Structure 1
Amino acid sequence: MASPDFSLSVADCPLIQVEGWDGTLGQFESSLSTSLGTKLPASVGETVRHKGFLVIRVAPRRLWLALDDGAQAPSLAVDPDLGCSVSLDEGRVRFRMAGADIARVLSKCIAVDWRASAAAPGRAVLTSLHHVPVLFLRTGETACELMVPRSFSRSLSDWIADAAK
């Protein structure tokens, strides 16, 4: 779906989740940062872009690595005594939305204030769309992504398309 004021595209979402065990967070983060070759986001909602992927802190001990289209997954060496990693590729789809009308469309779909600092470009917010958990990622002044469960992607894209009318 595309118009001058709003566009929506749907694509696979290469995604890796990493999580540190309780009591090992400092050591886990130091090891992960070294393995990835970049600093990690400090607080929930922060993101860090690095070499073909975006590191998103989705919870105090949980990070998602969202790979750019065509990017290879970084090699992770997560010590099982410190945490774990799991691919979420098969379970998520990425909705990319853009256009001057995006704030109006999203206001009908998700409970995120487009003007709030928590939803500023480069920030991520866990929310829901029609009772389905989604990750909202603001990518620009008039652009964002939603990472949604694959099993709900068809109905959610239809929901957004209806909101855009």
Structure 2
Amino acid sequence: MLGQFESSLSAALGTKLPASVGETVRHKNFVIIRVAPRRLWLALDDGTQGSSLAIDPDLGCSVCLGEGRMRFSLAGADIASILSTCIAVDWHAPTTAPGRAVQTSFHHVPVLLIRTSETSCDLVAPRSFARSLQDWLADG
């Protein structure tokens, strides 16, 4: 069933899906992230809400996470040293190379780090934690 779901979703999105956990696929104005063996997240680059995908309910479902999470885009030469003070991620490991994603925690709150380049990343965090995260980043 998973194969049918992924085939259907790939056709609906018009691109291949990430094959392994942590892999990302960039296509048009979105990034597809495999966050677990059977879970994919779709992050839109333009900040708009995604339209509901036509998914066969016998195969899977689509749930909008936008109301519960915020995405921060971070960039700069010192990003690795700033994030290392609060996130347990090895910036230089192959699992966190550009184009990869990793789930970790930021002061005991779960976040998804999406590595976008050598000096940039996105953090997807719960909306209830966004203000604290924003304040911490501004101080850093």
Q: Counterpart of 1:87 in 2: which secondary structure?
A: coil
Q: Normalized per residue, which structure has more strand?
A: 1
Paired residues in the alignment total 140
Question: How far does residue 26 in structure 1 lie from its aligned partner after superposition?
Answer: 0.7
1:63 to 22, 40, 49: 40
- State the partner residue of 1:84: 61
C-alpha contact 2:52 2:62 (8 A) present in aligned 1: no
Q: Counterpart of 2:4 in 1: which secondary structure?
A: helix
- State the partner residue of 2:86: 109
TM-score, normalisation: structure 1: 0.80
TM-score, normalisation: structure 2: 0.94
Identical amino acids, percent of aligned pairs: 75
C-alpha contact 2:104 2:112 (8 A) present in aligned 1: yes
Question: How far does residue 124 in structure 1 lie from its aligned partner after superposition?
Answer: 0.3
Q: Cα RMSD between the aligned structures?
A: 1.4
- State the partner residue of 2:15: 38
Q: Deviations over 1:45-95 (max 9, x none)?
A: 001111211000000000000001155635511111110001111111111
Structure ranking higher on relative contact order (CA contacts 8 Å, 6+ apart): 1
User: 2:46 & 2:28 partners in 1: Cα distance?
Assistant: 12
- Structure 1 unaligned residues grouped into runs of 5+: 1-23
C-alpha contact 2:49 2:66 (8 A) present in aligned 1: no
User: 1:74 & 1:118 partners in 2: Cα distance?
Assistant: 31
